[in-house]
Structure 1
């Protein structure tokens, strides 16, 4: 998801741009495929890919992947429409609301485990922002 990796971003996003530069400097031939997250995870489990970018740390994925040291840090934030009076005051304050989340993405262990929240999966950041703007989440 943007800004880390997306076919529509310059150089396909910061994650792919940095990875490509490092591998090119090492003399490697780089072939990039931007795929749906679930397909990436399945391919990683099967050993289909040499490198996967834009990963958040997940202890379960450590059972079949080796993580490098991170080269950037991301902070996930909640976004609300300017006309909304919603105030974030812990996970329980989100219970009455619908929340757009990236399909298959990780956020924070407590949020990820909060099955009582009404999470609506989206495939792009743009889709999530459009849903917020339309008042759907």
Structure 2
């Protein structure tokens, strides 16, 4: 009887009595309070946890605070994370939710051949402080000029203070359409992309429920894929799997 009681206390039934609290930053269109259901990644995460009888609450913070909050266990995890071995030392990584395309934006009137990364060493390239840059970007010896977010880099690019800005293609498109001053010079995506980078949830190794929530999320995501709801949610947001 005692063993059965202990099993029930450690099961998802116990977790279902309270919310799962994750953190995220403004990273539209994937995670954003300006998007329906706080963005496609939050919608997928909420649906996956719902499959396991768990409710999700997401608290938005600046990126550095969001990542630190998950790593030190103040939050159960952090949304919209690219993989790095350093982060994996402190976070349990979920199954990938979908892949993002990371590369360069430049001014349309000043396109740049980005097919050879080592040839870009002379350019000023905007990056975001605390983001995981593609491995090939780092291996090419390119040194980014850090800013607090992607929008700042797009503004600097439009003002000729950068030649290139490294970012997710859809993030750049959204910011240019929704938040960049319409009088600014048009900015264009440069082919080829640098890398396809999957987005994950990182569950805190210092949070008491971190490992269990990783398992529950992965089970819920598998159920979403099997039911077809995974693809339906992606289509609703216009995101490719």
TM-score, normalised on structure 2? 0.51
Q: Which residue matches 1:106? A: 132
- Between structure 1 and structure 2, the one with the greater Rg is 2
- More helix per residue: 1 or 2? 2
Q: Can you list the C-alpha shifts for 1:6-53, whole angstroms capped at 9, x where unaligned?
A: 222232221111112222333223211111221122112211121321
**Which stretch of the first structure deviates more once superposed, 68-77 or 114-123?**
114-123
Summarize the Cα distance change of 1:119–1:113 in structure 2 as closer, same or farther, 3 Å threshold.
Answer: farther
Offset, 1:135:
1.9
Distance 1:129 1:48 in 2: 32
Summarize the Cα distance change of 1:96–1:76 in structure 2 as closer, same or farther, 3 Å threshold.
Answer: same
Summarize the Cα distance change of 1:51–1:9 in structure 2 as closer, same or farther, 3 Å threshold.
Answer: same
- More strand per residue: 1 or 2? 2
Unaligned runs of 5+ in 2: 1-26, 163-241
Alpha carbons 2:118, 2:142 under 8 Å: kept: no
Q: Which residue matches 1:8? A: 34
Q: Can you list the C-alpha shifts for 1:72-127, whole angstroms capped at 9, x where unaligned?
A: 0011020111111421143322222211212211121242466652423232x333
Q: What SS class does the counterpart of residue 91 from structure 2 fall into?
A: coil
Deviation beyond 6 Å, 4+ runs, structure 1: none
Q: How many residues align?
A: 136
Over aligned residues, Cα RMSD in angstroms? 2.1
Highest relative contact order (Cα 8 Å, sep 6+), 1 or 2? 2
Q: What SS class does the counterpart of residue 43 from structure 2 fall into?
A: helix
TM-score, normalised on structure 1? 0.84
